[in-house]
Structure formats: structure tokens, C-alpha cells
Amino acid sequence: MTARLNSRQPDFDSALMALLNSRNVGASDVASVVKGIIADVRARGDAALVEYTKKFDHVILKSLRMSDAQIEAAAAACAPDVRASLEVAAERIRAYHTAQKPNNHQYVDDAGVTLGWQYAPLESVGIYVPGGKASYPSSVLMNAIPAVVAGVSRIVMVVPTPNGEINAAVIAAAKIAGVHEIYTIGGAQAVAALAYGAASIAPVVKIVGPGNAYVAEAKRQVYGQVGIDTIAGPSEILVVADAKNPPTWIAADLLSQAEHDELAQSILITTDAGFADAVAREVDALLAVLPKATIARASWQNHGGIIVVDTLTDALPVIATIAPEHLMLAVDAPEKLSPHVRNAGAIFLGRHTPEAVGDYIAGPSHVLPTSRAARFSSGLSVFDFINRTSLIGSPEKSPLLQQAAILADAEGLAAHAISLRLRT
């Protein structure tokens, strides 16, 4: 049953945490399986990748990498209207992340020391994309374009083709985004190949993109050998809405994330109990006709929530606790609330900005922190594909060298102190 809470109830804090923890189901023990797959790929390379692809995807690969001709043929099968929309989305994503790029900086401080920082793109990035009919071309754009804008020189995409099913829109999106290499492999074995390499695929330095439990665990296990973006959980949305919204709009917004996964979480915060009831009725009505109603209903009934607060200001500490992946402020003057929001992956301003516009075409990447990770991390951006290096330049015989030597003596590091004093 969908949870109904009121911020005035004595046990509100514990009830809210119970709602947020409702998705913490016992994870299956995939770690040992993934560990074995990674070790096998490291030992046998291409042969292991071909075997796992046959076992899990029921495809016998003659070549792991898609040829230019295969990419062209697959992309050409993409529906023209879908391609046109992908191109519009790509341009918007590119423009947003271009504006986000940081600048190098250098200055000389009062002690005459040159200080600063400079940025450089990562050498290579691997993008994991789920395959088959349920794959998402929008995710290709959202992962690849920030890397392209950052200047990454080699962008590799791995995408399984279960039962030989190639998603034309995914391949078209990769071509539009500027992906350099595409390999038709998936699962933990693809993550292992990206991290450690094989005869047919050179390793990368960072892996991004969503996947199932095996993919997530593989990313966890290869972290350190390569960088990763995050360990993504099921999707989430928190909608803060007043009674001026059509209830159907808000119901659709809630279900837009519920239809992703039975473990997705959709929560409404409102100041009007009657409006909350109206939204709940509209959710039921939409579930009667939604194609993915079984998934959405399980999500809404098991993990969804409706919270009534006295004022919109009272919603702020609740938002901070939930730390949602997506936060919709479907209220008048959302710009008065948004500066006070500390924890959210992305904020959607106003009742005419559904979360779904951010999924596809607004501009910022839709790869966002889940499972309350917005308390300490941010969405995917250009910053995930660049390194920042500090710059330090000391003038001749700087008095700072002697002060540093004193600190080196205090720490018992004689060679440090010698290297400093030799220059004074």
C-alpha cells in the first residue's frame, strides 16, 4: 500500500526513513559470480568474451567490434523522426556541457609563488549501454556527449545484442554523439574487458553508464583499476506540488519514474490533503491504461509515498532527507525554494517542467545520483571526464622553503628538509 505521511505525526522521521529504506531488499550474491567472470576475461580475453556472449545473449560473435559498415546499416534503420529528435537533443546536451567547461587559472600570490590549476581530458572512456529492445538511446547521448565536449580522445561503447537484437536508435545515437568504437558485448564480461582489455579491445581509464546488478557489481570490483561514475540504483522522483496543478499532470509525473522499475520510488509532497487524494485517484486511473502498469503499480504500491506538510517551507528538510535523484518544484515561484535545496540530483522548476523533459532533451545529463547519494555527489557532467592538476612555482630562495623545512623536521622527514634547505 502506498505510504501516506503527515509531517505533524509524532513518528514522522522514522516513518519517512522506513519509506526510503523500503527498497533495501536483500541483494542476491552476485559478487562471487562477477569475480569469476572478471578473472576469466583477464585470463582468456576474447575467447571468454565470445563464450559469455553465447551463453547469456545467445549470439555467436565472429567479431566483437562493429564495423563501420555495420554501424552505418544499423543507424540507417533508425526511424527518421527519432533520428531528428536525437539530433535536437544532442545539440542541446552539447551546448549545455560546452558552457559548463571550466577554465585553467594561474596567478602569483603575495609571497611570489605561482599557483593555479589546469584541466586535461581523460585519455579514454568506456560507456556501458543496456542492449535489446529495452535499451535507451537517450542514455547514449547523456553519457557520451559530455565526454566528447571534455575532449576525451577515445570513447568506447559496449552494448549487448541479446538474440541478435540491435537497437537502431542506440547505434544512431552513438554515431550522432561521436562514439569512436562500438562492441557488441555486455554484462560483467564487458566491464572486465573495458577495465583490463583483451585482444580485440584496448582498456579504458574510466567506465560510465547503467546496467543490471551484475554490471553494477563489476563496476564496483574494477574500481581502482579504472574510475567509474557511480553505482546506480533504481530511479526516483520527488514532486513538490500545490493544488494549482491538474492532478493528472502530477500523477503522470510520479508514474514516469515508477514505470522504470519495480524498485523505483515516486513521492509526492503537498500542502493540500484533498489534492493528495485527487492525485492518488489519477494515479489509479493511469495505471489502468499504462502499458507498463504491472511494473509501475508494484513501484507505487510498495515504495511510493504521499506526504502532507503545513507549508512549502516545511518541505525543505524533507527534501534534504530524501536527497532525490529528480526533484520537481511544481509550485508558484519555484525560484524562491530552489536556492534552499541542498540535496538533489536535478531540480525541475515550475509546473510546466516535467521531469521527463530532463530525461531527453533539456540539456543537462540525466545520469544522476540515486539512493540518497545526492547528499554527497552530483550528476554526470564534463567534470567527470577531465582531470584537474595543481600548479606550483616557487621563486628563488623563497622564505617559504625554510618554513616548510621546519615542518619537515617536525615530521621527522630529513630528506624533505634537506631538499628544501639546499635551495635557501
Cell, residue 289: 491504461
Catalytic residue (choose from 97, 260, 303, 326): 326
Measuring CA to CA, how many Å separate 205 from each of 48, 215, 302, 378? Answer: 21, 17, 39, 20
Are 405 and 420 spatial neighbours (Cβ–Cβ below 8 Å)?
A: yes
Q: How far is CA 153 from the centre of its chain?
A: 21
Cell, residue 111: 609571497
Catalytic residue (choose from 325, 340, 352, 411): 325
Kind plus residue range of the DSSP H or E element containing 165:
none
Quote the pLDDT of residue 188.
97
Quote the pLDDT of residue 27.
55
Measuring CA to CA, how many Å separate 309 from each of 40, 86, 283? Answer: 54, 40, 20
> What is the phi/psi pair of residue 166, to 5°?
-105, 125
Fold category of 3-24+233-375 in CATH: Rossmann fold (3.40.50)
* Beta strands, E only, 259-322: 265-270, 305-308
State how beta strands 105-108 and 114-121 pair.
antiparallel
Quote the pLDDT of residue 24.
79
Taking the domain 45-103+121-228, which CATH number applies? 3.40.50.1980
| 164 dihedral zone (left: phi>0; alpha: psi -120 to 50; beta) | left
Beta carbons within 8 Å of 412's beta carbon, 6+ residues apart: none
Q: How far is CA 347 from the centre of its chain?
A: 15
263-300 CB burial, b ≥16 within 10 A, e <16: bbbbbbbbbeeebbebbbebbeebbeebeebebbbbbb
What sign has the CA pseudo-torsion 384, 264, 307, 25? Answer: negative
Q: How far is CA 135 from the centre of its chain?
A: 15
Are 328 and 237 spatial neighbours (Cβ–Cβ below 8 Å)?
A: yes
To the nearest 10°, report the CA torsion of 73, 78, 84, 85. -130
Tell me, yes or no, if 58 is annotated catalytic: no
> What is the phi/psi pair of residue 118, to 5°?
-140, 155
Cell, residue 396: 628563488
Tell me, yes or no, if 326 is annotated catalytic: yes
The upper half-sphere exposure of residue 154, i.e. CA atoms within 13 Å in the direction of its Cβ, equals 12
Return per-residue pLDDT of the chain as tens, 424 residues.
Answer: 999 999 999 999 999 999 999 987 655 678 999 999 999 999 999 999 999 999 999 999 999 999 999 999 999 999 999 999 999 999 999 999 999 999 999 999 999 999 999 999 999 999 999 986 668 999 999 999 999 999 999 999 999 999 999 999 999 999 999 999 999 999 999 999 999 999 999 999 999 998 888 999 999 999 999 999 998 889 999 999 999 999 999 999 999 999 999 999 999 999 999 999 999 999 999 999 999 999 999 999 999 999 999 999 999 999 999 999 999 999 999 999 999 999 999 999 999 999 999 999 999 999 999 999 999 999 999 999 999 999 999 999 999 999 999 999 999 999 999 999 999 9
State how beta strands 105-108 and 326-330 pair.
unpaired
Kind plus residue range of the DSSP H or E element containing 53:
helix 46-57
What sign has the CA pseudo-torsion 255, 261, 263, 264? Answer: negative
Q: What is the pTM of this model?
A: 0.93
Quote the pLDDT of residue 36.
97
Is residue 367 classed exposed, middle or buried when 0-12, 13-18 and 19+ CB atoms within 10 A define those classes? Answer: buried
Cα separation of 166 and 61, whole Å?
13
Count how many residues are written for the chain.
424
Q: How far is CA 312 from the centre of its chain?
A: 28
Are 103 and 120 spatial neighbours (Cβ–Cβ below 8 Å)?
A: no
Residue span(s) of the chain under CATH 3.40.50.1980 come to: 3-24+233-375, 45-103+121-228
In the chain, the amino acid numbered 95 is A
